A and B are shown apart, each in its own frame.
Chain A
Amino acid sequence: MTLDVARIRKDFPVLQREINGKPLVYLDSANTSQKPQAVIDAMTSFMETAYAPINRSAYQLATEATDLYEDARTKVARFINANKSNEIIFTKNATEALNLVIMSWGRANLHSGDVVLLTHLEHHANIVPWHMLVAERGIQLRWVPLTADGQLDIADLDTLLNGVKVFAFTAMSNVLGTITPVSQLCAAAHRAGALTIVDACQSVPHLSTDVRVWDADFIAFSSHKMCGPSGVGVLWGRESLLDELPPFLGGGNMISDVRLDGFTPAELPAKFEAGTPPITEVVGLGAAIDYLERIGMQNVRQHEMQMSAYVLNTFVQRFGDDITIHGPVNPEQRSATFSFSFRGIHPHDLSQVLDQHNVCIRAGHHCAKPLMRVLGTNATARASFYLYNTEADADALANALDSASDIF
C-alpha cells in the first residue's frame, strides 16, 4: 500500500501555512518533525480536562492523569515490542536517555583501561558522554570506521570488539541516512561479551522497531522526531539490567524511602524518573504513536524508500557531478535523509537561498563533527523527508538549488 500523502498532509496544520504566498517545503524532519492535529488535540484536551500531578495524589483527577501517563508508557512498549512497560523510562530527550545509561552504567561498571566501541557515524550525544567518562574513569574509545559509501565497515568487527565492554552505535545516521545492521551488530557484541546501547533516535520514527529482534540491551530515542512533542525522550532497557543500574538523577518520585542517613530507590520505572516528568508531553507522545500505528510503520518506510529513489534520481538527472550525495545510494540501505554538497556553495549560504523559496533544510555539522572530519568537510546541507513529504517537495528543493547557482 502506498501512503495517501495528500490526506496525511491535511493532518499537519503547519504544512497548510504559506510564507509570502508560497507553500512551506519542510525538509528538516531529521532535526525535528512536525505535529499532526491528533497530537495537538490530545495535549490540549489533556490540559483542558485531566491535567494533574501523577503518582502522588489520591483524587480522581490525579488518578485519570496517572492512567493517561501510564497508558502512553504501554503504547511505547508495544510500539518497540518491549517485554514489559516498566522497561520504558521517560526522560527529557534522547540525549538525556543516552547520558542516563552511559553515566549510570558506565560509572558502576567501567574502570581505567576498559574499552568502549563507538562508530564514526555517531551523533555528539553518543560521543561526548563517553569523552566525559574518559576524563573521569580513564576508559579508552575505539571506533568502527566507514566504507566509501558511508556504511559501517564491519569487516574487522570481531577484532574491534575484542576486549570491549560496551558497543554503542546508531541504528540510522542522522547525517548520511545509513541504516546499520543492528541485529548483526548486537549479536557480534554479545558474542564478544559486550553490552549494546543503540541510539535509535533517527530509526524509531521511520522504521518498525522490535527490540527483541534487535536483541539490544538499551535503546534511546526521542518523541519530537516521531510526530510527538519536544521535551520527552525514551530509554528502553532490559528489565534485569535496569534493575541493577544505579539511579541517575535523585529527587522526588524516584525513591521508596529517604532517611537522614540515606535513601532506598523506587522500583522501575520510577527509579529513573526523578521529579515531575513532562506529563502532557508524554500523553502527546502516546497520541503520536497512535497516529503512526494507524498509518503503519511499514507504509511509512515504503513511502520513504520511494521518496529516496525519487530524490536520488532527481539530483543525478538535474545536477550530475555538480552535486555530491554523502552516504549510501541504495534506497534500501538508507533513510530519506540526504547530506549533500552542491557546486562548492557553502551549506549556510545554500540554506539561506533556499529559505527564500520556503525550503527548510539544515546546514552545518549536524552534531556529528567527527563524521564531518571523516568526510573531509566542515559542514553539509541536509534535506530530510518524512511521511508528509512529496515529490513536489523534492522538485521545489531542486528548483531552489538551481537558483542558488545564480548568486554564487
Chain B
Amino acid sequence: MPGLEDLYREIILDHYRTPRNRGELDPPAVSAEGYNPLCGDEIRVFIIVKDGVVSDVRFNGSGCSISQSSTSMMTTAIKGKSVDEVRKVVRRFKHMMTIEEDGDATPVDESLNLGDLEALQGVVKFPVRIKCATLGWNTLLDALNASSQT
C-alpha cells in the first residue's frame, strides 16, 4: 500500500490550509460549477479573459484537501497566461493524472514544468482521488469554454 506521505505532501497541505485566489469575481468574469458526484464536493471557478489572456482567477466551494489544494495551485499556475498556454497546462496536468481524452486537440507538452503541481503526482497512486485532483481543472475548462462563447 502506498504511504500517505506520497499523497499529503507539505506543499499540498499548505495550499489546503491557506488556499490562494480563493473568492469570487463579479461579471464580466465568467464562472463554472463542478461537482464530484461520488463525494459531494462542489467547486466554482471564476475567470476573466482579456485579450486572450486569463488575467484573473478565483475559486470557492468546498472539498477535500486534494481537490482544494489542486485548485489553489491551478489558479497560481494559470494566472496571467494566455488561453492557449492555460490549455497546455491543463493538458499536461491531466496527463500527469493519467487522464487521456479521445479527440483532445491539444498535444501533451512533456517539457512543460508544472512547478508546485508536480507534488500532486502521488495522487496517481490513489486512483480514487484522481477525480478530486481534477475537479477544479475540469471546472476551469468549462469556464474557459463559457468564456469563449461570450
Give chain A's interface residues, CB within 8 Å of chain B: 19-20, 346-349, 352-353, 356, 363-365, 369, 372, 378-379, 407-408
Q: Does B13 contact A (CB under 8 A)?
A: yes
Task: Decide: A363 near B39, CB < 8 A? Known: A349-B64, A352-B126, A356-B1.
Answer: yes
> Chain B residues near A378 (CB, 8 Å)?
39-42, 62-63
- Asked if A348 and B132 make an inter-chain contact with CB atoms under 8 angstroms apart, the answer reads yes
Q: Does B21 contact A (CB under 8 A)?
A: no
| Chain B: CB-nearest residue to A356 | B4
- Asked if A20 and B1 make an inter-chain contact with CB atoms under 8 angstroms apart, the answer reads yes
Distance in angstroms from B9 CB to nearest chain A CB is 11
Cα-based distance from A372 to B62 in the complex (angstroms)? 13
| Chain B: CB-nearest residue to A365 | B40
> Chain B residues near A379 (CB, 8 Å)?
39-41
> Chain A residues near B64 (CB, 8 Å)?
346-349
Q: A365-B40, A379-B40 are in contact. List 9 more A-B contacts (CB 8 A).
A: A346-B64, A347-B64, A348-B41, A349-B64, A352-B7, A353-B4, A378-B63, A379-B39, A407-B8
Q: Does B129 contact A (CB under 8 A)?
A: yes
CB < 8 Å A-B pair total: 48
- Asked if B41 and A408 make an inter-chain contact with CB atoms under 8 angstroms apart, the answer reads no
**Partner among A356, A365, A408 whose Cβ is within 8 Å of the Cβ of B65:** A408
Would you give the 0/1 interface string for B30-71, flagging 1 where the beta carbon is closer than 8 Å to chain A?
000000001111100000000000000000001111100000
| Chain B: CB-nearest residue to A407 | B8
Cα-based distance from A352 to B128 in the complex (angstroms)? 10
Task: Decide: A408 near B39, CB < 8 A? Known: A346-B63, A353-B4, A356-B1.
Answer: no
> Chain B residues near A365 (CB, 8 Å)?
39-40
A to B CB contacts below 8 Å, 11 in the list = A347-B64, A348-B41, A348-B132, A349-B8, A349-B64, A364-B40, A378-B41, A378-B42, A378-B63, A379-B39, A379-B40
> Chain A residues near B132 (CB, 8 Å)?
348
Cα-based distance from A378 to B61 in the complex (angstroms)? 10
- Asked if B38 and A364 make an inter-chain contact with CB atoms under 8 angstroms apart, the answer reads yes
Would you give the 0/1 interface string for B58-99, flagging 1 where the beta carbon is closer than 8 Å to chain A?
000011111000000000000000000000000000000000
- Asked if B13 and A347 make an inter-chain contact with CB atoms under 8 angstroms apart, the answer reads no
> Chain A residues near B126 (CB, 8 Å)?
352
Cα-based distance from A363 to B128 in the complex (angstroms)? 12
Q: Which of B41, B64, B126 has the most CB of A within 10 A?
A: B64
Task: Decide: A346 near B65, CB < 8 A? Known: A365-B40, A378-B42.
Answer: yes
Q: How large is the interface on B (under 10, 10 to 19, 20 to 34, 35 or more residues)?
A: 10 to 19
> Main secondary structure on chain A at its contact with chain B?
mixed
Task: Decide: A349 near B65, CB < 8 A? Known: A19-B1, A407-B8, A408-B13.
Answer: yes
Cα-based distance from A336 to B37 in the complex (angstroms)? 25
Distance in angstroms from B67 CB to nearest chain A CB is 8
Distance in angstroms from A362 CB to nearest chain B CB is 10
Cα-based distance from A353 to B5 in the complex (angstroms)? 11
> Chain B residues near A352 (CB, 8 Å)?
4, 7, 126, 129
- Asked if B13 and A348 make an inter-chain contact with CB atoms under 8 angstroms apart, the answer reads no
> Chain B residues near A363 (CB, 8 Å)?
39
> Chain B residues near A353 (CB, 8 Å)?
4
> Chain B residues near A348 (CB, 8 Å)?
39, 41, 63-64, 66, 129, 132
Cα-based distance from A379 to B7 in the complex (angstroms)? 21
- Asked if A372 and B4 make an inter-chain contact with CB atoms under 8 angstroms apart, the answer reads no
| Chain B: CB-nearest residue to A362 | B39
> Chain A residues near B66 (CB, 8 Å)?
348-349
Distance in angstroms from A107 CB to nearest chain B CB is 27
Distance in angstroms from A405 CB to nearest chain B CB is 13
> Chain B residues near A407 (CB, 8 Å)?
4, 8, 13
Cα-based distance from A406 to B129 in the complex (angstroms)? 20
Name the interface residues of B102-139: CB closer than 8 Å to any CB of A: 126, 129, 132
> Chain A residues near B40 (CB, 8 Å)?
364-365, 369, 372, 378-379
| Chain A: CB-nearest residue to B39 | A364
Distance in angstroms from B32 CB to nearest chain A CB is 18
- Asked if A347 and B39 make an inter-chain contact with CB atoms under 8 angstroms apart, the answer reads yes
Q: Which of A348, A369, A379 has the most CB of B within 10 A?
A: A348
Cα-based distance from A10 to B64 in the complex (angstroms)? 37
Distance in angstroms from B18 CB to nearest chain A CB is 13
Cα-based distance from A398 to B43 in the complex (angstroms)? 31
> Chain B residues near A19 (CB, 8 Å)?
1
| Chain B: CB-nearest residue to A19 | B1
> Chain B residues near A369 (CB, 8 Å)?
40
> Chain B residues near A408 (CB, 8 Å)?
13, 65
| Chain A: CB-nearest residue to B8 | A407
Distance in angstroms from B6 CB to nearest chain A CB is 11
| Chain A: CB-nearest residue to B68 | A346
Cα-based distance from A339 to B63 in the complex (angstroms)? 17
